Structure 1
């Protein structure tokens, strides 16, 4: 297998982009909390090594165990509900190695495992994808892990996984007629749920989740003013950086970072650190790197040997794109606070390792293009939608 791979087919552009965005992450996490910089650096190095190992593993061989991956995913999500540590009313982490060990968040790994599972599942159902039986089966298979995620409770990752699933179904060739029909049903349901959450006392979601939504809708309300301070300070921090920022590790007490005016700034609001210390130039550079990472994933997906490889690449690309969009919108006040990390930049070793595993899979898909088959025509993704 390894002898058939060719060095020229290895996507070094993607690796350089990942190294560059990870360096931004190390610097920004170090500025937000110097005590975490070394761990972030170790995480990046370990993630790159893990990515390289995964990139040499044939993804087609891995997909042979797609049902095992699905069951293992359910097992991890069940484990976190039974033995997970509870913080701020949520049980999302498993403590490994006692008090001196580290925490593991299964939901981050679940995103990659579900992408792998549905890549194989959708390829096996290419011919009957647009039948009611296949669609219902896919939705049920998604609903089981989603129920475990939302039980933690973890609304942000429930939404993220749901969006990625929709993208995977679209990429696999779901008919426009079915998409339109689903939207006609889903959009009214979302509007009804939104009305019930914001205008009634029904406990559809947890109280802290409702508070975040209400804070976003009515930040001037005294009842939610305390919750709005964090997001308002994030917006102020980004704006205060202007064009070039105040500089990394500046000692200005008035800054939102050094003055501790924004909680979880090393994770959920890392973009506020970028805006304040690196300015518009630094923020634009981060956005550009994330854009090209997503682009490279999609580009390799279009040259994949089969639809499963194409789905894996698009799934990982959508994961990076969706999480980036949510994190930056939260930091800039365009969405309610969700606690979503910025890929490769925010502190969080489980998220970091999971993303690098995803990128390793993308690199392996790229290795198995037309050159891998000695010049034969590679798989070309063509969808005929009704």
Structure 2
């Protein structure tokens, strides 16, 4: 379960990157909502403690409980479906009285850990129809429960992450080509259906967000485009160094509450206005380096499971960052996706830190560590003999 690791194999570079981006997140959340700053600090501290503990537990041992974790994940999603706390028309939280917990955020980590072990166990027959069908069914169950909350963005996010995981596991290019040939026309058909006023595939508010992105000039969707327009105005007003660094006292778009949910979905707008282009670039670079560090550690993993865990976490950080920034800058429809380690949200923050703890443990058991360990064991055997 817990091994004796050598400190020099601990990835302090990744730890520094996480501390840096989380510290920026605390500052931005405090700027957006001062009353939430203490909670965000608590979330960072809690996440760091849990991350360090998880990083010292053998991920191979944890993955032995893959089916228990899968079952627990389904149970949590069912509880949300049946007894979940609703907000803005969506039941996504379990209210414990002192804290609200969003199981979908933890589900992302569990799904990565589950399929990391599943794909490793089926590495030899990964491209067989039976294995592909089984993995699709196993994914479909939690996806259906997440979609029913309704939570379309996380349904798409988890599907995208799954595609990356199965590609990393060694999915045949022939299978990939076949899937793309089917998926491309299906996506076109889907878009043709959802733009129709009487469609039933997605919720009305989800359709309105898509229509607002496709037809921003249409006054019918002005309420949906206003948020993004104000977000772009806030980012543009920050110019190079931002209002906080330059001492500009001009009325703030964020302080005037022109951007709702600026502590979560539109936290990047706060960064743009307060710290300008330099602040936004710093956040993007830090998140990019975190994702690249995850991939680098995955390439040095001792087995396929570790490789999938690292690449899965790297994909979550990169995809969520991309979507959040696209929404804040008007380059994509409003999805309500938080910016990793920056946006307010204790469940999301702690879940990401759990995932990073797994990544750090993969790094502690890298191929270099195993070679040195084997050499040490061989030397001791020689001494004994």
1:262 paired with 2:274, answer no
Conserved 8 A contact 1:31-1:249 = no
C-alpha RMSD over aligned residues: 1.6
Note the C-alpha offset of 1:199.
Answer: 3.2
Conserved 8 A contact 1:252-1:258 = no
Residue 381 of structure 1: aligned partner: none
Aligned length: 375
Which one of 325, 330, 333 corresponds to residue 328 of structure 1? Answer: 325
1:206 paired with 2:239, answer no
Note the C-alpha offset of 1:83.
Answer: 1.1
Note the C-alpha offset of 1:193.
Answer: 0.6
- Counterparts in 2 of 1:79 and 1:3: CA distance versus 1, 3 Å: closer
Q: How far apart, in 2, do the equivalents of 1:304 and 1:68 lie?
A: 24
Residue 337 of structure 1: aligned partner: 334
TM-score by length of 2: 0.95
CA offset digits 1:292-326 (Å, max 9, x no partner): 10011111111111100000000010011110000
Q: How far apart, in 1, do the equivalents of 2:373 and 2:357 lie?
A: 24
Residue 32 of structure 2: aligned partner: 32
Note the C-alpha offset of 1:250.
Answer: 7.5
TM-score by length of 1: 0.94
Q: How far apart, in 1, do the equivalents of 2:250 and 2:86 lie?
A: 33
SS of corresponding position for 2:86? strand
Conserved 8 A contact 1:320-1:343 = yes
Note the C-alpha offset of 1:251.
Answer: 8.9
- Counterparts in 2 of 1:349 and 1:253: CA distance versus 1, 3 Å: farther
Residue 292 of structure 1: aligned partner: 289
Residue 175 of structure 1: aligned partner: 172
Conserved 8 A contact 2:2-2:58 = no
Note the C-alpha offset of 1:238.
Answer: 0.7
1:130 paired with 2:127, answer yes
- Counterparts in 2 of 1:83 and 1:253: CA distance versus 1, 3 Å: farther
1:372 paired with 2:382, answer no
Residue 18 of structure 1: aligned partner: 18
SS of corresponding position for 2:94? strand
Alignment of 1:111-130 (within 5 A): 111-130=108-127
Alignment of 1:213-252 (within 5 A): 213-247=210-244, 252=249
Note the C-alpha offset of 1:276.
Answer: 0.7
Q: How far apart, in 1, do the equivalents of 2:96 and 2:351 lie?
A: 17
Note the C-alpha offset of 1:248.
Answer: 6.8
Residue 67 of structure 2: aligned partner: 67
1:79 paired with 2:76, answer no
Structure 1 segments, 4+ long, off by >2 Å, are 1-4, 248-254, 370-378
Q: Unmatched 5+ residue regions in structure 1?
A: 379-386
Residue 45 of structure 1: aligned partner: 45
Deviates more, 1:22-31 or 1:239-248: 239-248
SS of corresponding position for 2:352? helix
Q: Unmatched 5+ residue regions in structure 2?
A: 376-385
- Counterparts in 2 of 1:260 and 1:200: CA distance versus 1, 3 Å: closer
Note the C-alpha offset of 1:206.
Answer: 0.3
Note the C-alpha offset of 1:368.
Answer: 0.5
Conserved 8 A contact 1:251-1:258 = no
Deviates more, 1:279-288 or 1:215-224: 215-224
Note the C-alpha offset of 1:203.
Answer: 1.4
SS of corresponding position for 1:322? helix
